[in-house]
Amino acid sequence: MLLVPLYEHPADRPEDWERVIRSARRLHSVVLNPDSGPGKAPDERFALVAERLREAGVPVLGYADTDYGRRPHAAVVQDLLRHRDWYGTDGAFLDQAASGPDLLGHYGRLSVAARAAGARTLVLNHGVHPHPGYAALADLLVTFEGPWDAYQDASAVPPWTADHPAERFCHLVYAVPPGAPAELAGELATERGAGVHCAVPGGGAHPWGTLPYALEAAG
CA distance 67 to 219: 36
Please check whether residue 72 is in contact with residue 64, taking contact to mean a CB–CB distance below 8 angstroms: no
Give dist(CA 210, CA 23) in Å, integer. Answer: 15
| pLDDT for residue 219 is more than 60 | no
Dmax of the chain from CA atoms? 45
Kindly list the structural domains of the chain, giving each domain's residue range(s) and its CATH number in brackets, ordered by start.
2-218 (3.20.20.80)
Whether the per-residue pLDDT at 81 is higher than 80: the answer is yes
pLDDT tier for residue 3 given thresholds of 50, 70 and 90? very high
For residue 110, the model assigns a pLDDT of 98
The percentage of the chain sitting over the pLDDT mark of 90, rounded to a whole number, equals: 89
The predicted model scores a pTM of: 0.95
Q: What is the average per-residue pLDDT within 66-92? A: 98
Please report the pLDDT score of residue 182 as a whole number. Answer: 63
Give the pLDDT confidence score for residue 155 in this predicted structure.
72
Mean per-residue pLDDT for 179-192?
Answer: 82
What would the pLDDT profile of 146-164 be if each residue is shown by its tens digit?
A: 999 999 887 789 999 999 9
What mean pLDDT is predicted for residues 120-126?
98
pLDDT at 217: 60
Distance (Å, whole) CA 196 – CA 10: 24
Residues in the chain: 219
Whole-number pLDDT of residue 83:
98
Residue 218: the pLDDT is: 57
Which strand (E) or helix (H) includes residue 145?
A: strand 140-147
- The alpha carbon of residue 181 and the mean position of all alpha carbons in its chain are separated, in whole angstroms, by 22
pLDDT in tens, 4-63: 999 999 999 999 999 999 999 999 999 999 999 999 999 999 999 999 999 999 999 999
The pLDDT value recorded for residue 185 is: 85
Measured in Å, how far apart are the chain's first and last C-alpha atoms? 17
Mean per-residue pLDDT, 70-83: 98
pLDDT over 60 at 216, yes or no: yes
Print burial letters for 101-119: b (CB count within 10 Å at least 16), e (below 16): eebbebbeebbebbeebbb
